Structure 1
Amino acid sequence: MVLLGHIIAGAIAPIAAIAAFKARKGGRLHLQSGRLFTGSMIGVALSGIVLDIVRLCFFVEENHTKYAGYSMPPTYPARLGFMFVGLCVLYLLREATPSRAPLSPQNALVVPSLLVGTGLSLTAIIALRLNPWTGALWMIWTFTLIVIIMARTRLSLSNHRRTEILRHRIGMSCLAAFSWWGALQGFGPAIAIAIQCADLSTRPYLGNQPGQFSPVFLFFFLSWAPFFFLAAYLIHRFRKLPSA
């Protein structure tokens, strides 16, 4: 039931995001589709966190063993990465919605500090104990940067109306992009399996063991690198905005 809810919410979110982007900003359709997008992303995040916790704590061997007739299950790094992203999504949904009352500097730093610390800890675990040559680290680092951007602007310019609008657009744009990527990452393989049938090979599955370097890792770097440059530009731009 949790998985079904995750799939349904994951299908609604990218469609609602497109509707919100196409609608007139501040209009009725924009507000309604935005609320639908927010609710569906909350559902995606919460159900995803629950699924990853269950798969990492219960029937672990079965959840990470490749059986004939099924495609390979996600690796340990992937589950840890998506669980971290789920927590970041909940934080970003809160921060990307213009707040009625500004947060104190102390409250504005607690949650993002915990998230950044968690991201660094997971980076160490994946790099030292698991397989760093996957896309999990790039996903963790990307959302860590988004959290830093949102926390930095909240801390310095929490009362600036223009900044609130920019934060809303940046946060929701990042979440919308993630919903589109998640839809491709989730539904794409499912469609391929439905067309070509499941992978029937029985070769050993090694996704839960330390891995060797793969050139594919460089592909993740090249495909995600533009976002890091964009993040650096946004941080620089926000630092130059007026504080009143």
Structure 2
Amino acid sequence: MLTKRIIPCLDVKSGRVVKGINFIGLQDVGDPVKIAERYNEEGADELVFLDITATHEGRKTMIDLVERVAKRVFIPLTVGGGINSIEEMHALLRAGADKVSINSSAVRNPDLIREGAAIFGSQCIVVAIDAKKHGDTWHVYVSGGRIDTGIDVLAWVKEVEQYGAGEILLTSMDADGTKNGYDVELLESVSRAVRIPVIASGGCGSIQHIVQVFRETTVDAALVASIFHYGEASIQETKCTLAEEGVEIRR
């Protein structure tokens, strides 16, 4: 059985880690290099670094910050935000990222998924999806959650798998930052639709929410931000609880 992964997420704006609710009301959390180093030392399985305003502001992800973070961490690092080309993927991987995450650019140009997978390997290509409930389904949003594409999430995840994505980072916009728990219905619907790993994102407010998402869905990893950023739970405490609950994790 594959172990479940605990992945702290660093949403970065203007060189600082921030956190908001439903993608708005961003508050400063701290320095990304120091926070990344702490999570590495505490036993995180991976890290996700997202430059959350790069696409909206029409600029590239901050390479220098990625380099500084990569020098301090020794676990897999996924970087996303404003990546629009193979050249930009290559620059981030050269700067120390292990995987690149694409969202808006994947919707605009799905061939970017295929080309990236062919050149760097599927394991390097993470497709991030921001999903929001619309009636009985979910729509894909882009530009940092600002634009509703009208694309059905379940149809889109099947497409990105066919294009060669190695992993899906799925964020529930409805749950994001609320600390009311992960969107179990959305996550399990997507997990059942694809064979590639799915990372759950949005809504974690306690260790029990992480236990719940692993018990009630078949996701492969849980992205966590607020409870780690604000010291409400530690990574080791989380892993000990998961182990006690019978969840297979890397100790």
Q: Same fold (TM over 0.5)?
A: no
* TM-score, normalised via structure 1 length: 0.30
Q: Which has the higher strand share?
A: 2
* TM-score, normalised via structure 2 length: 0.29
Q: Is the radius of gyration larger for structure 1 or structure 2?
A: 1
Query: RCO higher in 1 or 2 (8 Å CA, sep ≥ 6)?
Result: 1
Q: Which has the higher helix share?
A: 1
